[in-house]
Amino acid sequence: MKLQWNRIVALSATALFAAAAALTALSAVGQMAPKAEPRTVTPRGPLLEQEQQLVGLFESAAPSVAYITTEQVRATGFFTAAVSQGAGSGFVWDTQGHVVTNNHVIAGARRVFVQLDAGDPIEAEPIGFAPQYDLAVVKLKRPPKNLRAIAIGSSKDLRIGQSVVAIGNPFGLQRTLTKGIISALDRELPTEGFREVAGVIQTDAAINPGNSGGPLLDSAGRLIGVNTAIRSASGSSAGVGFAIPVDLVNRTVPSLIARGRAPLPGIGIDPFPPDMVARAGFSGVVIRSVGRGTPAAQAGLRAVDRQTGDLGDVIVAVNGRRVDSVTQFAAELDRVGIDNTAELTVRRDDKERKVRVRVIDLQS
């Protein structure tokens, strides 16, 4: 028994000695290991010319881009309601504090707030709506002294393939820059009342929820469009975004500021609804009535005869561009513009003729 106990003590002493030796060895290794230091930074050198241009463009345009938040009251039951919040983008139009955005960003809002740079949100008052173009204007109640209006470009001379950038606030992430090209031109964007925005710009610059109302800029930093929609099954960017052309914006915004509404181009006819025309097997704009003294009446356009049932005139083209529906017709009149003359191709009794008609503002 004593022999066994001595053996256990001997083994324990051996184990303790081995552990001490191991600790001593590790300590020695630690003392010999070099101290860890950060790696030396390799000098980068100047940015590439293309990068410098993009950085300069962003730094110049970003102060003119707005982050817009809204408060809306939504019914939650027969006698209950809750306040919900929305967000979008916009841009400074002038030094008086007018900010342009999409109509759908602020439609139905109880309160609107605009944040510029890193400052506090400024309350703004909606002063003009153009749902037919999905454009709206709000005015800052306390405009800062250093407001910088965005540079305005032109959309009539754009070319497919040229570079563009979008600045906005996707998913509430402020001042996000995305880059791409013009993928297509002359797209059409449906809005309200059987109308479409003509000349819409298609881009592959990433546009996501929250970019709505923000600027699409050319490589010179000029506004060429207002980002307004994406086409995606997921609701996020799929490389197909759309922007309202700046030439239309530049015609519409001054009217929104001055009168609170946009001109409504027309010629003084009341067309049949598109679904009724389609069910009857027709294409084009079938005239239900012609206003007395309007440009359409002066041009001799004839409506359906309700007594005899004679069809009258059907408008099938505007300035050589085919129109199969009221929507396309309205878009072509938008393209022509107020106080300009449109050449209509009109069919009556299977015969076509050309008719020149002045485009007027139906709301004046």
Sign, Cα dihedral of 344, 348, 352, 353:
negative
Residues noted as catalytic? 104, 134, 212
Burial classification of residue 151, based on how many CB atoms lie within 10 Å of its CB (0-12 exposed, 13-18 middle, 19 or more buried): middle
Tell me which residue of 75, 166, 155, 169 sits closest to 117, measured CA to CA: 169
Write down the residue that tokens 């960017």 correspond to.
Answer: 237
- 215-218 and 163-168 as β-strands: parallel, antiparallel, unpaired? antiparallel
d(CA 332, CA 319): 8
